[in-house]
Structure 1
Amino acid sequence: TDRNDSPELNVINLNARSVVNKIDTLEFLLIAQSPHVVAITETWLSSDIASDCIVPPNYKLIRRDRTTRGGGVAIALRNDINCVELECECNETVWCRISYCNRVFLIGVVYRPPNAPIDFLECLNDFLCKHVKSDTRVILTGDFNLPHVDWDLMVAGGVDIPNGEKMLEIMFNHNLTQIVKDCTRITDRSQSLLDLVFISDSISEYEVSVNEGISDHKMVVFSTPLPRHGPCRASMPITVKDFARADDTSILDYLETSLEAFEQLSTTGTVDDLWNFLKTTIYFCIDHYVPSKIKYVHRTNPWITREIIHLKRRIRRHRKNNKQSMNALKSSLKTALREAKESFFSVTLHNFIKTAPEKFWRFLKGRKEPIEQIVDGDIIITDNLEMAGHFNRFFQSVFSAHEPHVMREASSDDTEISTPGVVITLPGIFAKLLSLDTKKSTGPDKIPNAFLKRYAEWLSYYLKIIFDTSLQTHTLPQEWLSARVVPVFKDGSRLRVDNYRPISLTSVCCKVMEHIISKHIFTFLEDRGMFYPHQHGFRCGLSTVTQLVETFHDFSFAVNNKQQVDVICIDFSKAFDRIPHGKLIWKLKALGLGSIIINWIEAYLSNRSQRVEINGSLSAPLPVSSGVPQGSVLGPLLFLIYINDIATYIQAPTKLKLFADDCLLYAPVNNSVDQLNLNRNLEILRQWCDDWKMQINFRKSAYMHITNKRKVLKFSYNMGDVNLNNVDSFKYLGVTISNDLQWRAHIENVCSSAYRSLGFIRRKLKDATRDAKLTAYKTMVRPILEYASVVWSPNKKVDKEKLEKIQRLAVRFILSRYKRTDSVTRMLHECGLQPLETRRKIARLKLFFSLYNGQLKIDPALYLKEVHKRSRRLNHTKTVQPYSSRIDVFKYSFFAQTIEEWNSLPECVINLLDASHFESSLEELFSN
Structure 2
Amino acid sequence: MQQVKSYPSFSIYRNDRKTRGGGILIAIKQTIPSRIISIPDEVEALTVQLMLYEPINLCLIYNPPNCSEVYKQDLLSYLETTMQSLVKTYILGDFNSPDIDWATLSSNCNFSSSLCDLSFQYDFSQVIDSPTHIHGNTLDLIFTNSPDSVTDIVISNDPNPVTKSDHYLISFKLQLSTTQHSITSKPIYIFDYNKGDYNGLTNFLCNIDFSNCFQSNNVEFIWSYIKSSLCDAMAKFIPKIKLNSTHQPKYFTPAIRHQINCIRSLKRRLRRSPSSSIRNRFHTAEQSLSDEIHKARSEFERKLINNFAPNNNSMIYKYIRSVKKSSSIPSSVLYNGAPATDSADKASLFNEYFFSVFTSSDFVLPPYPDKIDPYVRCHLVSIQISEQEVYEALVSLHTDKATGIDV
TM-score interval for Structure 1 and Structure 2 normalised by the shorter chain: 0.3 to 0.5
- Bigger CA radius of gyration: 2
